Amino acid sequence: MSKGSAIISILIAFVAGLAIGNLIGHSGSGDGESRLATINVDDSPRRGGEEPSAGAAADAPAAEGEVVRLRAEVPENAPQRGPDDALVTIVMWSDYECPFCQRVEPTLTRLMNEHGNNLRIVWRDNPLPFHQNAGPAAQAALEAYAQGGNEKFWAMHGVLFENRAALTRPDLERYAQQLNLDMNRFRRALDTNAHQASITRDQAAANQLGARGTPAFFINGVNLSGAQPYENFDRIVRQELANAQRMVRAGTPRNQVYAALMRTARTSPPPEPSQPEADRPAPPQPDPAAIYRVPVGNSPAKGPANALVTIVEFSEFQCPFCARVGPTIQQIRERWGNDVRVVFKHNPLPFHPNAMPAAEASMEVQRQLGDEAFWAYHDTLFENQQNLTRENLEQWAQALPRINMAQFRRALDEHTHQAAIEADQALARQLGASGTPSFFINGRNLRGAQPFPAFEAVINEELARARRLIESGTPRAQIYDALIRDGHTSPQMLPGAAAPARPAEPAEPPPDQVYEIAVPRNAPTRGPANARVTIQIFSDFECPFCSRIGPTLDQVVERYGNQVRIVWRDYPLPFHQNAGPAAEAAREVFAQGGSTKFWQYHDLLFQNQRELSRENLERFAQQVGGIDMNRFRAALDNRTHQAAVQADMDAVQNAGARIGTPSCFINGRLVQGAQPFPAFEAAINRALGQ
């Protein structure tokens, strides 16, 4: 076959893979980079076992509780960590420019350390089209692999993620020189796209499995999408390890376990349930009235032991939301004085690499100097949470009077306090408080960096409850123990409310009807203002169908280039309670950073569309970068953009259109719903006169 024919064949295979991928939709939530929602792994225990057969049988829906495995192939010459005969294989699709892919790296390292030779991680590439440097970076890593095998690949891989914001061609060459690669061969590989066929193969495989976002993981074929917490990975790894060990005991050779699992795995995701997603009941929610048994133990406390209200805080020193709630806690102490005690427990999150050392340092300060010194050191850590280096931890400790620095350094070197910290973390998980910050006010859970009134309401109720106990004869010193004695030790949930009835589908407009909807002067756009075709998309950040249209619009941009302009318009539906605030947040990002920042924020909202709390809207704005957060918060507090959002909705009504979401007006003609690319292609070609 000629070189030209080979390239054409590769492109055809890739396009076919994308077409297959665009026909496969799935929903869920996760922390990952994608224009679609991701598959979420159920927290409930799963039965071991495999689907009875591949092929046609694999297209049937999975039974409730059944393990769904997808056939995540391990190419013959793919970079990997861990031995070929590992009992658990994680095949991952990732992108070097994706922040979520970078965030999950410490979790993967921790998994390897925990499970040793029982675990293998296989790398596959999926550079996303809106990350312009991800493709060249993938080629650079594969060339490092070609020259030096796994050792050079993972070395380059680490350098690329450490320098995710600097992946230009000169940067890639500099990293290659640092690794002592053959530079002539390296440059030639990048110039000729020597590894594009491998990348295209990986992307087609990802699309076939429905893994269009990054990072995506298949743990012995079980899908987990996004930069999930360590516990989510570890739970599935342990389940799969137990299943693999059963297989080995039953006679399957260790080096054939993965192949045996893949033989019966599905070749594509299971069909979606027939019940429309919008009609499903809402998921269970935490019971705000539940009382939990949260022991104080030896944790540092501020306030007297006989306080009427005890607030146990699970927190960590690198979390920006934990820092933000500090003034609120101070306000509580000033308001209620000795009636309130605050207790600090540690929950350093795995994607904050400096949080664990900071926690260990603070515990050593407490051990040597007591609670008062702990709180002083605690304040210093939060004031400097962007600079929690070992050097600084020592410098701040040295400023404390009477500290023994030799003991301090030894405690950090030997991880003297790690077991105590892990005990706090285990307690947090047991109580369902996996995020930070999380508070238990006389045992009642309040999550996140809530404003003062949210604390005030619960504290007033708990003060009244404590005073009733005192009136009935309970000594003040025993109040907290009495209040939590019968508390729960696991999460208490309220059943989800029935989903509101879906509105009736709007009647289809006549095919030739053109709606007069003017494009606002200042709206987020992709494409030039003089494009021959303008697509106005009316959408809702909480709508699952809106999330599915993103890849189709990407395909439109790729196919038509500067002939098409896409204009974002807001249409938050009334039964999506977070859609309105999300729309206003996105508009403030646009006001500060223009269309470039808007579309980055837009992607984050759709990637996390089931996590659109006020706290997360702020977190996503910080991730975009370059946003004045004081101005951002003021815009949300003052509802600065509410009128603009309403104006978008009014524009549709004034034009006489009845729509759901998403709805696209292509030069005024309506294409309604998350239609496949051919529907858009036909409408755009018509607008172009083709």
Angle at 19 between CA 13 and CA 25, to 5 degrees: 135
Q: 480 falls in which pLDDT band (50, 70, 90)? A: very high
Q: 511 falls in which pLDDT band (50, 70, 90)? A: low
For range 572-601, the mean pLDDT? 91
Rounded-to-integer distance, Cα 491 and Cα 290, Å: 9
**Cβ proximity of 428 and 345 under 8 Å:** yes
Residue 367's contacts (CB-CB under 8 Å, 6 or more residues apart) are 411, 417
For range 332-339, the mean pLDDT? 95
For residue 618, give the amino acid letter: E
Rounded-to-integer distance, Cα 440 and Cα 292, Å: 8
As a whole number, the mean pLDDT across the chain is: 84
**Cβ proximity of 339 and 305 under 8 Å:** no
Rounded-to-integer distance, Cα 343 and Cα 424, Å: 12
- Token duo for residue 371: 């609670």
CATH topology for 301-493? Glutaredoxin (3.40.30)
Q: 5 falls in which pLDDT band (50, 70, 90)? A: very low
The reported pTM is 0.41
**Cβ proximity of 307 and 341 under 8 Å:** yes
* Per-residue exposure over 347-369, b if at least 16 CB sit within 10 Å of its own CB, e if not: bbbbbbebbbbbbbbbbbbbbbb
Pinpoint the alpha helices (H) of 94-133: 99-103, 105-115
Residue 70's contacts (CB-CB under 8 Å, 6 or more residues apart) are 209, 210, 218, 221, 222, 223, 265, 266, 267, 268, 269
Taking the CB of residue 690, how many other CB atoms lie within 10 A of it?
Answer: 8
pLDDT above 70 covers a percentage of the chain that reads: 85
pLDDT, tens digit (0-9, with 9 covering 90-100), for 610-640: 889 999 999 999 999 999 999 999 999 888 9
Residue 25 has pLDDT above 60, yes or no: no
pLDDT, tens digit (0-9, with 9 covering 90-100), for 662-683: 899 999 999 887 787 888 998 9
Q: 227 falls in which pLDDT band (50, 70, 90)? A: confident
Rounded-to-integer distance, Cα 322 and Cα 381, Å: 11
Rounded-to-integer distance, Cα 38 and Cα 51, Å: 22
**CB-based contacts of 512-519 (< 8 A; 24+ apart in sequence):** 512/669, 513/669, 513/670, 514/667, 514/668, 514/669, 515/655, 515/656, 515/657, 515/665, 515/668, 515/669, 515/670, 516/655, 516/668, 517/651, 517/652, 517/655, 517/657, 517/665, 517/668, 518/651, 519/567
pLDDT, tens digit (0-9, with 9 covering 90-100), for 115-134: 999 999 999 999 876 677 88
| pLDDT at res. 213 | 76
DSSP state of 503: P
Rounded-to-integer distance, Cα 152 and Cα 143, Å: 9
For residue 31, give the amino acid letter: D
DSSP state of 588: H
For range 278-302, the mean pLDDT? 81
For range 183-192, the mean pLDDT? 93
| pLDDT at res. 284 | 66
Rounded to the nearest angstrom, the gap between the alpha carbon of residue 649 and the centroid of all alpha carbons in its chain is 30
**Least confident residue range of 11-20, 111-120, 368-377, 410-419:** 11-20
**Cβ proximity of 111 and 175 under 8 Å:** no
Rounded-to-integer distance, Cα 396 and Cα 378, Å: 10
Q: Is 473 exposed, middle or buried (0-12, 13-18, 19+ CB in 10 A)?
A: exposed
| pLDDT at res. 70 | 92
> What order of strands is seen across the sheet that includes strand 669-672?
525-526, 564-570, 533-539, 663-666, 669-672
Residue 112's SS3 state is helix
Residue 113's contacts (CB-CB under 8 Å, 6 or more residues apart) are none
pLDDT, tens digit (0-9, with 9 covering 90-100), for 49-80: 222 222 223 334 444 446 789 999 999 889 99
pLDDT, tens digit (0-9, with 9 covering 90-100), for 362-396: 999 999 999 999 999 999 999 999 899 999 999 99
Domains 301-493 and 525-687 share a fold: yes
For range 479-495, the mean pLDDT? 88
Is 3.40.30.10 the CATH number for 3-263? yes
**CATH code of the region 525-687:** 3.40.30.10
Give the strand pairing for 438-441 and 444-447: antiparallel
**Least confident residue range of 6-10, 131-135, 197-201, 577-581:** 6-10
Residue 360 has pLDDT above 70, yes or no: yes
| pLDDT at res. 182 | 96
| pLDDT at res. 273 | 52
**Cβ proximity of 161 and 137 under 8 Å:** no
Residue 48 has pLDDT above 60, yes or no: no
Angle at 533 between CA 532 and CA 535, to 5 degrees: 155
pLDDT, tens digit (0-9, with 9 covering 90-100), for 440-456: 999 999 988 888 888 99
- Token duo for residue 60: 């049937």
Rounded-to-integer distance, Cα 308 and Cα 426, Å: 26
Rounded-to-integer distance, Cα 558 and Cα 656, Å: 32
Residue 271's contacts (CB-CB under 8 Å, 6 or more residues apart) are 59, 61
- The top-scoring range by mean pLDDT among 213-227, 264-278, 399-413, 507-521 is 399-413
Q: What is the DSSP string of 151-168?
A: HHHHHHHHHHHHTTT--S
Would residue 597 be called left, alpha or beta, if left means φ above 0 and alpha means ψ between -120 and 50 degrees? alpha
| pLDDT at res. 130 | 66
- Token duo for residue 626: 């370059």
The full set of domain ranges for the chain reads 3-263, 301-493, 525-687
DSSP state of 363: H
Q: Is the peptide bond before 215 cis (omega within 30 degrees of 0)?
A: yes
Nearest Cα neighbor of 618 from 425, 429, 384, 451 is: 451
Give the strand pairing for 340-346 and 309-315: parallel
